[in-house]
A and B are shown apart, each in its own frame.
Chain A
Amino acid sequence: MQSFHYPHLPSEYATVHVALYTNVTNSAEIRGRIVRAAQLEGPDGETEREAVNFAFLDARLICSPLHLQTAVYQAILAQVQGSIRTKTVHSEILWALNPTNNITEAIRRYGVADTTTALIVVRICSPELNDVEKRMSAVVSGTLSSLDALVDITDWASVKKYCKLNGEPALKAVAKDPAKERLLVEEIVTSSVAMKSVMA
């Protein structure tokens, strides 16, 4: 797990914990828990919601750590400024990643699906919360991996499809050089996430 501390953000959002899990075996269960937690009422609901109070992202659609950080940062900015479009700062990360304004689509594409095997878990919280990794591992059954492993997980074809990059002139120019193409796709996708709040 990696942790980032942003001293200029209000303390309740100042720390971001990110973990990549590979060989995840219980994604259907996780998805079920998130759905149920949202419906439970009373103190049980509170406890369960706190237990799954993370953003669960399909790691195949994340190009790079910077791509992820950009989405997280824009989600926190929206939360602090009160311009959040979804219910929580964690779901806002999913919204920031998806190129359209459709929240359901964002969750379906970028969130955890029953077949997900590589999962990125994000928690935005105050610096005082210090057992985050334990809480994450209590929910996810899988191998905790370094974010560096992301390079072998990213599914570039899906990234290009969702961000409607196929047929763009920029990609035609580098079609013969996969390394350059990835660099360019990563740049376009990251930039799109960063400017989503002012998208035309």
Chain B
Amino acid sequence: MTGQTKSPSLKLLDTAEKVSQGAEAKIYRVQLHPTPVCSSSAAAESGEVAEKVLLKYRFRKQYRHPSLDASLTKSRVAGEARALIRCLRSGVNVPGIRMVDAPEGILGIEWIDGKSVRFLLGGGAEGEEEIVEDATDEPEEGDLPPEEDQLQEYGISQDALMGMIGTEIAKMHQADIIHGDLTTSNMMLRHPSSRKGLQLVLIDFGLAYTSTLVEDKAVDLYVLERAFSSTHPQSEPLFAGVLKAYETRMGKDWAAISRRLDDVRLRGRKRSMVG
């Protein structure tokens, strides 16, 4: 990095469209690779329309010592990228990675053309302040028309959507990846018209880690259950649909997780009262 001028990635951010902001990162949308200029001699080159990219910028935190901030930011960008590639290799639907600039704290991922599950279930888009909620740092867009007709555009029923959620989480847990922040805002339904077709995509792996423990998987599910009940009315049948698909996919591993999930429900997600 040259000291005197702005780094390329920060210049790129200047041209990007800001989508949302959380406490940890800002989210931008930008076209990373410019539309090509074709020289005359080659045959007419069509090419696809250049893909949009989502940039997650973990900005400098003034409240931290600069060197600590730099190393934390770098390791978090790296951690998120590694979790994503592990998911991809395990067949979990997640956004593809497009660029990584760890020193600047920038992660570029595939832009998902679609809506969040939260929005599709009528939980409103994030940022609409009618519901008290925790801030998360992934994008949300759109507003207005509620529920049912939203899903019609995607050609699936609410039950089918719940099944897709359960299956996707099960695939992730089978690969020993724990998401750490499962909510309906961190799941998106890719529009059927996109190149990869209709898919349920898990997003925001900022808190993800690897673990083989039944406890961690049960807590992951518990966090989602709480998210369902706090953002969507009459969520019990919905979440039951998620668990049913999860159970089917997990097979013999389900029994242990189910038992542990019951324990977690009684005590909450923290195992001990210490710390």
Contacts and interface: CB of A to CB of B under 8 A. Distances in A.
Interface residues of B, number: 50
Contacts of B77: 198
A168 B89 contact: yes
B84 to A, nearest CB: 7
B8 A188 contact: no
B88 A170 contact: yes
B265 interface: no
B97 A10 contact: no
Interface string B1-28: 1100101110110110000000000000
Contact of A144 (B41, B46, B51, B91): B41
Contacts of A147: 45, 47
A27 interface: no
B195 to A, nearest CB: 7
A183 B195 CA distance: 9
A73 to B, nearest CB: 6
Nearest to B46: A148
A125 to B, nearest CB: 14
A40 interface: no
A194 B42 contact: no
Interface in A16-40: 18-19
B171 to A, nearest CB: 8
A120 to B, nearest CB: 13
A198 B79 CA distance: 8
Interface residues of A, number: 51
Contacts of B37: 2-5
Interface of B: 1-2, 5, 7-9, 11-12, 14-15, 32-34, 36-39, 41-47, 51, 74, 77-78, 81-82, 84-85, 88-92, 96-103, 108, 174-175, 195-196
Given A4-B34, A10-B8, A168-B90, A148 B47 contact: yes
A8 B97 contact: no
Given A2-B36, A2-B37, 14 more contacts: A8-B9, A74-B100, A80-B7, A80-B8, A168-B91, A169-B89, A170-B91, A173-B91, A183-B196, A187-B96, A188-B85, A195-B97, A198-B78, A198-B100
B275 to A, nearest CB: 28
Contacts of B78: 198
Contacts of A174: 91
A147 B37 CA distance: 13
B39 A191 contact: no
Contacts of B14: 8
Interface stretch (A63-71, A87-95, A109-117): A63-71
A129 interface: no
B84 A74 contact: no
A174 to B, nearest CB: 8
Given A1-B41, A82-B1, A188-B89, A195 B36 contact: no
25 contacts: A2-B36, A2-B39, A5-B34, A7-B11, A8-B8, A8-B9, A10-B5, A10-B8, A73-B33, A73-B99, A74-B99, A74-B100, A81-B101, A133-B39, A168-B89, A169-B90, A170-B92, A188-B85, A188-B88, A190-B97, A195-B81, A195-B82, A197-B102, A198-B78, A198-B81
A38 B85 CA distance: 37
Contacts of B11: 7-8
Given A1-B41, A170-B89, A9 B8 contact: yes
B128 to A, nearest CB: 32
Contacts of A65: 47
A157 B81 CA distance: 26
Nearest to B89: A168
B258 to A, nearest CB: 23
Nearest to B99: A194
A65 B38 CA distance: 14
B96 A4 contact: no
Contacts of B41: 1, 133, 144
B47 to A, nearest CB: 7
A172 B5 CA distance: 48
A183 B48 CA distance: 14
A76 B8 CA distance: 10
B1 A6 contact: no
